[in-house]
Structure 1
Amino acid sequence: MGLFNRKPKLAADRRPPLERDERMLSWAETANGDGVVVVSNRGLWLPGRAHRLGWHDINKAVWSGRELAITPAEVVAERDGGYLVVADLPVETYLLLEPGDVPHQVRARVTSSVSYTAHYKLPAGGAVRVVARRVSGVDGLRWTVRYDPGTPTDDEAVVEQTGSLVAAARDTGDPGAVPD
């Protein structure tokens, strides 16, 4: 945008409570006017939420050209081996008639939070996605797994195979090298 076509600043009473080292990068008002989607360097502030979603807490973000659809992750278990089991929460959709840079920023930041991702069929049944993500403001990677629907997640063999895949990904970067 040119100097005279700049988007006005978001009114102070509509700004989210940013942390000291957090800065707002982009924003867009929802079509019904009851909220604002705010992109910060630390995550995404969505209408109706008291806290931001960190980029590592978003399993999927889709821009249709008018609607931004966000699928947040929910931690359902912490497993030995230093990884978390996550599941999709319901998709949240926001109609943005003047999205500005919001869709681009969301896509770029969700994508850049992913350091490693791979999907594996499990010999014991089902499949799992192993993901290592960067968490803004934290050193190191956060390892998570997300099981495909129908995978017996509490089955001892599935848990063992998943742990082996995560360990191999951490150690070699190639969990596919793990024998079945």
Structure 2
Amino acid sequence: MRLLRRRERPPDIDGLAADERVLSWADTDDDAFVAATPLGLWWPGPRRIAWEHVVKATWQAGVLRVVEGDVVDDLLLVDRPPVAVRLTVPRDLPPTVRKRVEANIVARELVSVPGGAVRFVSRRLPGRDGVTWWAHLEPGTPDTPELRSAIAARIERLRGGRAVG
């Protein structure tokens, strides 16, 4: 019986920052991998999705689905279409992703607005001090100039009157 086992070596990732390390990874059904680092989730391609841009991540029936958001005007986090990959050897990637996404969110509040709702979310920016606030329009909420103006004013107050992010 072997008492000491060799630890599996994480995959090599092109583009990994010099001080970035792989925390967890999973093999996919197309002979690729998904990896988590302190800065983000490396998706097949490879490309890094920064933790602060992960709007939603789910793992169900062996499939990891991620909704990434684009920051618009340093105010809104707008959903991209979801991406999904089947994990054949998940290792501890799904709980690592959950932990990282949850740890990235500092605070959130849902505010009713005419025609819908806006979710204000305070997020940590990995590798930098402090947090920033962004707004996420709930489905069906119209994006209007008046709403953007109100969002900008509220975010400025939430950020303490200084631009962060």
> What TM bracket, shorter-length normalisation?
0.7 to 0.9
Distance 2:68 2:98 in 1: 14
Distance 2:121 2:152 in 1: 13
**TM-align CA RMSD:** 2.0
| Corresponding residue of 2:112 | 121
Structure 2 residue 150 is the aligned partner of structure 1 residue 161: yes
Percentage identity across aligned positions?
A: 34
Structure 2 residue 65 is the aligned partner of structure 1 residue 69: yes
Task: State the TM-score, normalized to the length of structure 2.
Answer: 0.85
Distance 1:48 1:71 in 2: 16
Shift of 1:101: 0.6
| Corresponding residue of 2:39 | 42
Amino acid of the structure 1 residue aligned with 2:36: V
Is 1:16–1:45's contact at 8 Å kept on the other side of the alignment?
no
SS of residue paired to 2:103: helix
| Corresponding residue of 2:103 | 112
- Encode CA deviations 1:32-82: one digit per residue, 9 max, x unaligned: 21x110111111100024x3111001000001141110101012x31xxxx
Amino acid of the structure 2 residue aligned with 1:101: D
Change (3 A) 1:44 1:109: same
| Corresponding residue of 1:152 | 142
Amino acid of the structure 1 residue aligned with 2:64: L
Larger strand fraction of residues: 2
Amino acid of the structure 2 residue aligned with 1:9: R
Amino acid of the structure 1 residue aligned with 2:151: T
| Structure 1 unmatched ranges of 5 or more | 172-180
Aligned length in residues: 158
| Structure 2 unmatched ranges of 5 or more | 161-165
Task: State the TM-score, normalized to the length of structure 1.
Answer: 0.79
Match of 1:88 among 72, 79, 95: 79
Is 2:105–2:122's contact at 8 Å kept on the other side of the alignment?
yes
Distance 2:21 2:10 in 1: 13
